[in-house]
Amino acid sequence: MRIHEGNFAYDLEQPRDPQTQLVLNWRFTVFQLRPTEQVVARGEADTREEAEKKAKSTITRLAGKERKIAA
């Protein structure tokens, strides 16, 4: 599931262990969309809410750096 936030987007997923089929921690991937789509950060969290919070804070941090460079 990809969620867009301006020039960035993030995916959340909850993979399963292929051997045991047990649910693992939530993973997030942050993408920069322009000029070309590229992965800029990845991480894990215990809950979906925590993964979403970490992804959004990463986007906020990266967007702040982007603004400083442009100024």
Tens digit of each residue's pLDDT (9 = 90 or more) over 11-43? 999 998 888 888 889 999 999 998 889 999 999
Residue 17 lies in a domain: yes
Q: Is position 71 within any domain?
A: no
Residue 20 lies in a domain: yes
> What is the count of structural domains for the chain?
1
- Domain that includes residue 30, residue range: 2-66
- With tokens 């789509």, the residue in question is 37
pLDDT digits over 52-71, tens only?
999 999 999 998 877 666 55
Q: Is 28 within a domain?
A: yes
In a domain, 15, yes or no: yes
DSSP 2-66: EEEETTEEEEEE--B-TTT--B--EEEEEEE-SSS-EEEEEEEESSHHHHHHHHHHHHHHHHHHH
- Say what the pTM is: 0.83
